[in-house]
Amino acid sequence: MTAIITAIDLAHELTGARPPVLLDVRWQLSVAKAAGAPAFDGRAEYAAGHIPGAVFVDLDRELAGEPGGNGRHPLPDLAEFGAAMRRAGVSADRPVVVYDGGQGWAAARAWWLLHWTGHPDVRVLDGGMPTWRGELSTEIPDPAEGDFRPVPAAAGLLDADGAAALAGTGVLLDARAGERYRGEVEPIDRVGGHIPGALSAPTTENVGPDGRFLPAAELRDRFKALGVSTDAEVGVYCGSGVSGAHEVLALAVAGIPAALYVGSWSEWSSDPARPVAVGADPQ
């Protein structure tokens, strides 16, 4: 089962006897509030036009808990997450397709949460809304209540201690931009740099100019060059567990399982007792 779907294939499935549940998770990482500008409004974008039948999901409120010591986008309360998914029509026996505005990060966060909590068939629209060539709708659907009950997996999730350990025993990838990894700039968190031992692997390099994932073989070659092998345990972090989910998705496309450190740098850097490495050297 693939983790992504093309717009052409999605359009075909939507006309079939068992169409997928569609989730619209348009969201953008924005520091606009700090500059006094209005933040990106995904719900307004959705209301202005979405793929017919799609239900809007709010990343900040439904795919994450309250920001704090566990990071800017910690795990949501799973009972509340399950209730939100059921309101959106998500059931265990019906496929789900998630999309966003094209960056892929927000859709990947929804994909990762559903996958980690046991949904057997969830995919991301590769390239997001810009790839959709069909009509758009402003009608807000009222789906029948779903039956999905999230049951978290024993594997696939890292905490701060687990991420630190994995940096020494396996491969820990930092999905942020290289300049944030090196500590040259840090627009959001308390301090710049990276977890000692982590390798810089910006998730933006997993996609082509059109925002779609590179072919699986190219992704495998990329991760192999970073030291990822079939024997290595792999983990990913980013700023707050959103772009990192996109890298976990890229690894899945390449056929490589990986765990996500959801708290990521926003949690790690909030504790002055945790070590911080700077520069291009992982250590």
Q: Order of strands, edge to edge, in the sheet holding 157-158?
A: 157-158, 259-261, 234-237, 171-174, 199-200
- At a CB cut-off of 8 Å and minimum separation 6, what does 185 contact? 179, 192
How far apart are alpha carbons 38 and 259 in whole angstroms?
A: 34
DSSP bridge partners of 235: 172, 259
Provide the 8-state DSSP code for 19.
P
CB 110 within 8 A of CB 116: no
DSSP bridge partners of 76: none
Token readout for 215 is: 């072919």
CB 237 within 8 A of CB 166: no
How far apart are alpha carbons 273 and 154 in whole angstroms?
A: 28
Catalytic status, residue 267: no
Provide the pairing of β-strand 21-24 with 157-158. Answer: unpaired
Catalytic annotation, pick one of 110, 173, 175, 238: 238
Cα-only R_g, the chain: 18
How far apart are alpha carbons 153 and 151 in whole angstroms?
A: 7
The residues carrying an active-site annotation are: 238
